[in-house]
Structure 1
C-alpha cells in the first residue's frame, strides 16, 4: 500500500511539474507573439580568454524582433544582466516605443549563467569550478561575439566598421555592461545608453553608506517620517522577540512564513529578507502598477507606509501585526501567495549567480549607520570574504577587476555614452551624474526610480521622464547622423 502511495505521489509530482512547465512555455510563446520575437541561440566559447578551452562551447539565448526593421536600419541591442532575458524584454518598453522611429531591429541578449544560458546545464551551480567563467569580462566577449554575428547577418552591404549603426542599451548592472562594451569595443557599437548604472559602485571609490541613505530618502519622501521611525523601531522589536521560541512562533505565524523560524541563523535570514524588501520597494517605486520583482501597486513605498502607520499599536505584538499587513503589499499584492518563503535553503539560480558575481568582480560595499533606517552595520571586507568563501567556495577575490579594466575616472578619453539616473534610485549613489565631455554626458531625472526611462511610456510619466526620453532619442539621432 505504501509503495502504491509513493508511486502515486511521484506521478502526481511529475504531473504538477509538467503542468508548470507547460504554463511557463505558453507564457513565453504569448510573450514572443505579442512582440514578434524570434528566440535564437548563439554558440559561444565557455572561456574566451584562453586557448585551451575555446573549443568547449555552450549556447547563449537571445531574442530578436524585426517587426519595425527596414533593411540597413539600426540595431538596438539590450544587454541582459542578472535575470531571465524575457523579463527584461517585457520591462524595457522604451525600445519598442522608439523602434518605429528608427526602423530598428531589436535584440535582447541573455547574460551567461542566467535564464536559459547555462554553460553546464543543471550542473552549472554545482561547484565553484563550474562557476569560474561567470565574469564581466567573459560576458562582454559574449555580447561582442553575438553582435558581430548580427552585423554579418543584417549589414551585408556595409563595408567599414565605423558604419555599423548598432547601439547598446542597458539598465543597472546591464547599464554598466553597455558602457564597458563601448569602452572596450568601440568598433562593436557606435554608442551606449547606460541607465541607472552604478559605474562607481566599487571598493575604494564608493562610500558604503550612501546606498541605504537613498533608500531611506525614498521612504521619507514617498511615505512619512513616522514610517521611517517605525521601520527603525521594528529591528529591535524583531531581534528581541526572536530570542524566545514563543516569539519566533508568533512572527512565523503572523507573517505567514513558509518555514518557521527556529534558529539565530533563521533570524539573520529574516532580517536580510526584510532589508531586501525595503530595497526592492524603493527600486520599484514607480508611478504605476508593475510586476518587475513581484506584482506591486503604483507608488508601493507610499502604500506600504500608509499601511504601516495606519493605526496605533499598543505593544510589540501589535507592531508585528502592523508590519504583517504592510508587508503584504510586497509579498502578496496579487492575493495569490499562500506563504512567504524567507529562509528557504534553495535559492533561485539567478540569485546564486548574482551573489557569486558580487563576491568576485562586482563587489558593491554596503554599510548602514544611525542616519538611515536600517540596522547599523559597518562594511567589513574580511568578514564579507569569509562569507563568500563559505557560500560559494571562492578562493580568490578580484574586487577591483572592473576598476582596473574600465577606470571610470578616464571616461573623458572615450565617446558616445549617455548616462541616465533617477535621483530617487538607490543606485544613483554611484552613477555618472554630470557631463564628462561633449560625447560622454549624463541626464538626471527628478523624482524618478530605477531605470524608469527605459520602461514603456505611460500617461502618468512626469515631464522629467518625458524630457529624458527625448534626450535619448536626440542623442541616438546624433550618433546615427540623422540630425
Structure 2
C-alpha cells in the first residue's frame, strides 16, 4: 500500500469532480465555524486491499483508495509527538472531522498530528472499493467490521513509515471514536494493540445484540427520562408522561386516524404500518434525546441548544391550546418534526424507510428504489450531514451489527424494542439482501461482547442523556436513571440485566459517566456553556492519555486513577 498526493480538501474535490467537503460543513460545532473552517484539512489517499483476508489467486486483486484527512498545524514533528487518530464510522469523514473539536484542542496541548480515516463504503464518492458500482449485494460482501479495521491497520502502518516513526516508542498513537466509531476503537485495540497506545471510546454500545430485549426497553426508557429531566427544567414535568401517553395512543387509534394525524407519505393500511410508525417516532425521539447538547449542533440535523427542552415546550403549547382531535398525537408530531424537519423541507414522513418487512408482502424501502441496483451515497438526502447511508448501514445491520438501522428519514437509530420488531427486521433483511447471511450474534463471538478483560488502555465515556450508553460498560447507570435512583458511583456497579459477565474490563480501563452529557459530547469542542461535569470528564481523559504516552515513551508516570 502506498499513499497518494497530498492536497487541500477543496482542491482534491475540484480535480476529481467530487462534492466539496463544505457540503458537510452543516455539521459545524459552533456558529463561529467548525474544524473544517478553522483547521482546514489536507486530504491524502492510501491504497489498500479490498479483501485483506483472502490469499487465493482468484480473490479480488483490486485495491482502492481510502480517504484520510490530516491537520498538522500543531504537529511538532518530533519522534515523541503523538498521533491522534479518529476511526471513521457510518458517514462522510468530513462530518466527523467537523464535530470532533476536542481532538484539535488536545493536539494543540500535545503537539500532535490529527488524523481522520474514512470508513470504507461511506465516502461521498470516495473510499468506495468499486466506485459507483460498490452497492450491489455482491460487492457489499466486503463491507465488514473486520475489513474496515484492516483498512485502518494498513493506513496507520503506512503513515508510520511515511512519518519515519521508527522504533516502538516513536509516534505514540491514541485512537478516538464516537458511537459505532467508538466500538471500532475498542475492537481495534483488541485486534491490533501494537498500532496504538490507547483509545477513547465515547458512547460505545459494544454489547448491543438483538437477543437482549431488556436492552431495547432500557434504551427507550433512558430516552424517555431525558424528556422527564429536561421538562422539569422548563417548568413542565409532564413532558415524559406526555410522550408515553402519545405512544400508547399510536397503539389504540385506528389506522385511518393515524393517517389523518401524522404527516405520512402514504396512507397507513396494515398493522405493519403501525409498527413502522412506532419505530419512526421512537427513533426520532431517541435521537433527539442523545443530541441534547448545551450548544447549537447539527451533526445530523440543525438543532437548537437543549432541543429536548424545545420539544417539551412545543408539546406543552399543544396541550394548553387543545389543538387537533388528538392533542397527544399532535404533540408527537411537533416533537418528531423538531428532529426530522427542522429545516421545514421535508414534505412528509416516509415510513417505507423503516427496515421492517411487510407481512405477506415485500419490503417497500425507499420509494421507487431498486434494491438490486446501484446508488451512491449523497449529501442531498434530507440534509443529513452523514450522507445518505441507508442501504450501506442497513447491510451492516443485516450482517454483523444487530441494531435497528436508520429510521426517521436517516436521522434516527433505534435498538429493536420487541420480538415483533426483531422478527420484522430479520424478515426485511432477508428481502433486502436475499443472498446475505444474517449473523446478529457474530460480533459477540468475534470480540467477546462484554468480556473485554484482555483489552488494555481504554476510556469508556457515556452521558446520562445518551441512551446508547446502555449498551456499554455503564449499563448500571442507565438502570438507576430509569429507576429514579442516584447515579453516584454507578460506574463501579454491576448491571441488573444482561450478561452475568457484567463487563469484565482490563484493570487499565477507565469508565466515565457524564451526568448531564449527550452523545459523545466529550469529543466535541469546548464551549463556555459546557457544564463542570463535562469539563471534569475531559480533564480526566487528558490525564489518562498523557499517562499512556509517558508509559509508551518509557517515562516515569504517576497514578491518575
- Same fold, judged at TM 0.5 (above): yes
Q: Report the counterpart of residue 130 of structure 2 in structure 1.
A: 120
The answer on 1:75 being equivalent to 2:83 is yes
> Retained in 1: the 8 A contact 2:255–2:268?
no
Q: Check conservation: 1:48, 1:54, Cα contact below 8 A.
A: no
Aligned residues between the structures: 447
CA deviation profile, 1:417-472 (whole Å, cap 9, x unmatched): 11111122101112123473441121111121110000000111111110111111
The aligned residue for residue 459 of structure 2 is 418
Distance between the aligned counterparts of 1:376 and 1:150, measured in 2? Answer: 43
1:363 and 2:437 matched: no
Q: Which residue of 2 aligns with 1:181?
A: 188
The change in CA–CA distance for 1:251 and 1:120 in structure 2 (over 3 A counts) is: farther
Q: Answer with 382-391 or 289-298: which moved more.
A: 382-391
Residue 431 to residue 240, structure 1, CA distance change in 2 (3 Å):
closer
Gaps of 5+ in 1: 1-17, 367-373
Q: Aligned runs of 1:6-405 on 2, under 5 Å?
A: 24=20, 27=23, 32=36, 34-52=38-56, 53=59, 55-72=61-78, 73-115=81-123, 116-126=126-136, 128-154=137-163, 156=164, 158-203=165-210, 207-208=214-215, 209-223=217-231, 224-235=236-247, 237-238=249-250, 243-244=255-256, 248=259, 250-251=260-261, 255=263, 259-261=265-267, 263-264=269-270, 268-310=275-317, 311-313=320-322, 316-334=325-343, 336-337=344-345, 339-343=347-351, 344-345=366-367, 349-364=388-403, 377-378=418-419, 381-405=422-446
Cα distance change, pair 153–222 in 1 and its aligned pair in 2 (3 A): same
Deviation per CA, 1:120-169: give whole Å up to 9, x if none.
Answer: 2222223x212111111111111111011110111x1x432354411110
Q: Which moved more, 1:63-72 or 1:385-394?
A: 385-394
Deviation string for 1:254-287 (max 9, x for gaps)?
x4x5x34354365554433222211110110111
Deviations 1:174-230 (A, max 9, x none): 111011111111111111111110111124567332211211111121125522333
Decide whether aligned partners of structure 1 residues 388 and 479 sit closer, same or farther in structure 2, where only a CA change above 3 A counts.
same
TM-score of the two chains, using structure 1 as the length reference: 0.84
Task: Tell me how far 1:65 sits from its aligned partner.
Answer: 0.8
How far has the Cα of 1:33 moved from its partner? 5.3
Q: Residues 114 and 242 (structure 1 numbering): CA distance in 2 closer, same or farther, change over 3 Å?
A: farther
Q: Partner of 1:12 in structure 2?
A: none
Which residue among 459, 472, 476 is the counterpart of 1:431?
Answer: 472
Equivalence for 1:5: none
How far apart in 1 are the matches of 2:110 and 2:291?
Answer: 29
Task: Evaluate the alpha carbon distance shift between residue 217 and residue 378 of structure 1 in structure 2; reply closer, same or farther with a 3 A threshold.
Answer: farther
Match of 2:529 in 1: 460
Superposed CA deviations along residues 36-84 of structure 1, whole A, max 9, x for unmatched, are 2011222121111111335212221111111111113211000111111
Supply the distance in 1 between the matched residues of 2:269 and 2:467 (Cα, whole angstroms).
32
Contact 2:213 2:417 in 1 (8 A): no
Alignment partner of 2:431: what SS?
Answer: helix
Return the alpha-carbon distance in structure 2 between the equivalents of residues 26 and 182 of structure 1. Answer: 32
- 1:321–1:201: structure 2 CA closer, same or farther, 3 Å change rule? closer
The structure-2 alpha-carbon separation of the partners of 1:231 and 1:32, relative to structure 1 and needing over 3 Å to count, comes to closer
Write the distance in 2 (CA, Å) between the matches of 1:422 and 1:443. Answer: 8
Shift of the 230–376 alpha-carbon distance from structure 1 to 2, 3 Å rule, reads: farther
Find the counterpart in structure 2 of residue 6 from structure 1: none
Unaligned runs of 5+ in 2: 1-13, 26-32, 352-365, 370-380, 382-386, 406-414, 475-490, 493-504
Summarize the Cα distance change of 1:60–1:426 in structure 2 as closer, same or farther, 3 Å threshold. Answer: same
How far 1:329 sits from its partner (Å)?
2.4
Matched residue of 1:464: which SS?
Answer: helix
Which secondary structure does the structure 2 equivalent of 1:168 belong to?
A: strand
Distance 2:349 2:324 in 1: 26
Q: Distance in 2 between matches of 1:61 and 1:147?
A: 12
Task: Please tell me whether the aligned partners of residues 206 and 430 of structure 1 are also in contact (alpha carbons under 8 angstroms).
Answer: no
What's the TM-score, normalizing by structure 2? Answer: 0.73
Q: Which moved more, 1:166-175 or 1:56-65?
A: 56-65
Contact in 1 for aligned 2:85/2:176 (Cα 8 Å): yes
